[in-house]
Amino acid sequence: MRLNPILFIIAALAAALVLTNQQIISPVSAAFTSNQGNPSNTFATANLVAPTNLTASASGHDVALSWSAGQNGTGYAINGVANGTSSNCSAVTFSAVGTTAATSFTDANRFSPQGNYFCYQAVTTRGSWTSTSSNPTVAAQIGFVATTVQMINGGVAGRLDPGDQIVIQFNQAVNTSTGPASTDTVCAWGSSILLASANTAFGCGPQGVQSGSYTGNGADNRAITGLSFTPDVLIIKDTSTDIAVIRTSTISGDASKPLVGNTGFQSNRIQSLDDFGFTIGNDATVNTNGNTYHWIAFKAAQGEMVVGSYTGNGVDNRNITGVGFQPDLVFVFAESNRKALYRPSSLTGDQTFQFDKASAAANIIQSFISDGFQVGTDNQVNASGIVYHYAAWKNISGKTNNGTYTGNGADNRNITGTGFQPEYLIVNDSGGGTNVHKPASTGSSTDTSLFFTADSAATNRIQQLQSNGFQVGTDATVNTSGSTYYWTAFANLVPASPASESVSIGTLTGGTISGCNCRFNATYAWSNGNKTLTITIGTRIAGYSNPTISAATWTFTPTTTASKLQSATGGFHICDNNSGGGNCLPATTILP
């Protein structure tokens, strides 16, 4: 008998719908999310959906991750891989970092090499199954670093001047109490911009001492250039019969002080101190045609050498403070008709020298104190209502020194113990003889000395400037047998650039600063959760013109002071413990 094909198909379908317990099973569908065996013949009923909005940010020496929840999972797997200096995670191969049931994760001690990138991936999991598509990735710059530096012009393009802003972005929040103080300054010179220096006066870097010479030409308003720094003190003396003159950066207008005689400020001598030079008039003390003039320039630096001024009040034992250290040498001179004076620390008791032939006298500079010096009532230093200017030096090994020796009358006598070869030397006879001085510009091995008085250069005084001292002849001004002589020596000091100062933020280097060794006040503002610092340049407080800045790639090197620029989380100093090298430096910008 032939079987009806249609009936056969219907019977087969009916048999397929019947199980041994005679129950009908409803149709099911399954989405396979993992290549796994399934011995129990069970199936998942939904997709594992990947998380979204993955973020990763450095937090101290850790990395904090968070994301929006995925779907249908019971937890998350965090994968990661070091990616060097690249933040592109599209072609990396991940390895397991950790797991969590939460929507956040902390990758602990992930900070080195600082400034490098670490790529992360978040994956939804359920048992051994994982989401296989759209798993988010993100790169975190690990450690504590500055990521960008930007210059915003607020004044004249191509110059650093008031209104300009320097904006620094950090990869994590900064503890602002370890940032700059409101009194910190910005200093620019040579090839450096110092950000948030603790120094609040004078040009960048340590003190400077330099000597040189020029030939007078009688021309008024003559600029003498070529100094290695902007001077804060300048002395000029010719080899002829003119009095030495002095000027400090605390003096305004066309004014200088003769170092000898009861003479007040005079014009037409040192007319101004300039950036890396000075300007002279046509007075005989500075610019007689054909005369040879020697100049000695000093650059001030906090903690080493400073200049200042005060107004006399006539009160005895008056302390002049604010110097910042206990001086070993002080010059003082009045704007009015009074003599200029000086005192080295080698001169004991209440005694002070004049620059002329007089012996030491009392009631003038009476003593040195921890933050300055004390004056008496003598009108040369403390007449009521009179303005006085001073310069003060601290003895620093290899830079400045003073001492004494006893004359013996022997020619070609070597006096040792300065600790360096002097660039400039002053010798004073305690018996009232004429003071002599010698700058290296006269020739270190040339037997020529200058006077402060209206006397021509002479021989047989300071004969040589030597590696650890100087040589004197037999003249009474330097070597009478039994007489005590006081010497003050200054080394040749040409501050290097980039200058070194303690800074709370760091230094920009790589281009050039021209036209000025300038210091500016500044304001400091934090924003973006204390990840962004904006430095706004304020008033110029040192230097005579706003400097030109080259258009170049400048590298930001953060402060190395461990107590400065610490992370808000963990208190870690920027770029510390970067044993792996990495990309902690540089952060660069092109300044206009």
Q: Which of 131-140, 341-350, 462-471, 549-558 has the lowest mean pLDDT?
A: 549-558
Cβ(339)–Cβ(412) under 8 Å? no
Tell me: pLDDT of 381 over 90: yes
Q: Round to whole Å and give the CA distance between 82 and 117.
A: 6
Domain ranges of the chain: 1-143, 146-201+499-590, 401-494
Q: Give the pLDDT band of residue 125 (cuts 50, 70, 90).
A: very high
The per-residue pLDDT for 205 is 87
Q: Round to whole Å and give the CA distance between 365 and 348.
A: 11
> pLDDT of 259-307, one tens digit each?
999 999 999 999 999 999 999 999 999 999 999 999 999 999 999 999 9
Global pTM reads 0.83
The tokens describing 167, both together, are 């904006």
Cβ(374)–Cβ(310) under 8 Å? no
The tokens describing 162, both together, are 């008031």
Q: Give the pLDDT band of residue 25 (cuts 50, 70, 90).
A: very low
| Mean pLDDT over the full length of the chain | 90
The per-residue pLDDT for 191 is 87
> pLDDT of 247-260, one tens digit each?
999 999 999 999 99
Q: Give the pLDDT band of residue 45 (cuts 50, 70, 90).
A: low
Residue 198 is given by DSSP the state: S
Instruction: Supply angle C-alpha 513, 519, 521, rounded to 5.
Output: 130
CA dihedral 469, 475, 479, 485 (to 10 degrees): -80
Q: Round to whole Å and give the CA distance between 85 and 524.
A: 30
> pLDDT of 98-112, one tens digit each?
999 999 999 999 998
Cis amide prior to 498 (ω within 30 degrees): yes
CATH topology of domain 1-143: Immunoglobulin-like (2.60.40)
Mean pLDDT of 141-152: 91
Q: Give the pLDDT band of residue 188 (cuts 50, 70, 90).
A: very high
* Strand pairing category for 277-280 and 222-225: antiparallel
Q: Give the pLDDT band of residue 583 (cuts 50, 70, 90).
A: low
The per-residue pLDDT for 375 is 98
* Strand pairing category for 117-126 and 129-130: antiparallel
Q: Taken in order 357, 273, 286, 456, is the CA torsion positive or negative?
A: positive
The per-residue pLDDT for 510 is 86
Tell me: pLDDT of 393 over 90: yes
CA dihedral 589, 524, 64, 95 (to 10 degrees): 20
The per-residue pLDDT for 217 is 98
Tell me: pLDDT of 115 over 80: yes
Q: Round to whole Å and give the CA distance between 340 and 365.
A: 12
Mean pLDDT of 147-169: 92
